[in-house]
Amino acid sequence: MDFVTGDLQCPAINVENSATSKAANSCWICQDKLILHALLASTSTTITPLIASSKTSHEAWNKLTRLYAGKSCTRVMQLKEDLTLNNRGNWTVTEFLQAIKLIANELARIDHPVSDDDLTLYILNGLGPEFREIAAPIRARENPLRFEELHDLLISHENYLRRLEQEAAQSLVATTNFT
C-alpha cells in the first residue's frame, strides 16, 4: 500500500537496512493513523461517515477538500438563500441565532463573509411579528450591532415577552356566574 501524507511518502522498508527502515515505516504509519483519528474526531457526526473509509490522513483530507472546499457560486447562493428564508418558528431565540450564525460562519469560511448589517437584517426578518417592538429601533440605528450585542438584546426581549405571558396567564381568573 502506498501511504502519503501531504508531500511526505511513507518510508519504504529497505532490505539492506531492515531494522531502521522498518522502524521509520512503522513510526510514519503510526503518526498518519493519529492524524487520521484526529481528523475523524474533529468532524461532525454527519461528516465522519463520509471519510471513515479512508486508509490514510491524506486520503481523508482529499475527500474533505473535494466535499467542502468548493467555493462555487451555487453553494454561496444556497447559503444566502438559507439565511434569507430562515424563520424562528418554534425555536427559541438562542436556537434561531445559532442556526443563523452557523450559516454565516460557513459563508465566511468560503470567503463570502456576511456583514454585521446584513446579518442583523437576516435575523430581524426571521424573528416574526412578536419581535416588531425591538426590531424597529435596531433597524434605525446609525451604527451596526455586533452579533453578540444583538444576541443579548434579543434574549432580553424574549425573556420580557415570557414575563408578559406569565403575568397575563396569572391575571386571568376563572369566574363563573351563579344563577
Say how far apart CA 177 and CA 179 lie, in whole Å: 6
Domain co-membership, 96 together with 164: yes
pLDDT confidence of residue 28: 86
In sequence order, which ranges of 2-56 are alpha helices (DSSP H)?
Answer: 18-42, 48-51
pLDDT over 60 (residue 5): no
Say how far apart CA 58 and CA 8 lie, in whole Å: 10
Domain co-membership, 114 together with 32: no
Domain co-membership, 33 together with 109: no
pLDDT in tens, 96-147: 999 999 999 999 988 899 999 999 999 999 999 999 999 999 999 888 889 9
Say which range, 37-46, 127-136, 169-178, has the weakest mean pLDDT.
169-178
pLDDT confidence of residue 1: 47
Domain co-membership, 99 together with 36: no
Domain limit, last residue, from 68, 92, 117: 68
All three cell numbers of 29, joined, read 504509519
Rg (CA), the chain: 27
Q: How many distinct structural domains can be found in the chain?
A: 2
Report which of 133, 136, 128, 129 is spatially closest to residue 86, judged by C-alpha positions: 128
Say which range, 64-73, 88-97, 141-150, has the weakest mean pLDDT.
64-73
The band of 171, judged by pLDDT with boundaries at 50, 70 and 90, is: confident
Domain limit, last residue, from 68, 87, 105: 68
Average pLDDT over residues 31-46: 90
What per-residue string of b and e applies to 141-172 under the rule 16 or more CB within 10 Å gives b? Answer: eeebbebeebbebbeebbeeeeeeeeeeeeee
Domain limit, last residue, from 32, 52, 68: 68
φ and ψ at 92, to 5 degrees?
Answer: -75, 165
pLDDT confidence of residue 44: 86
Domain co-membership, 54 together with 88: no
pLDDT over 90 (residue 175): no
Give me the domain span that covers residue 81.
73-171
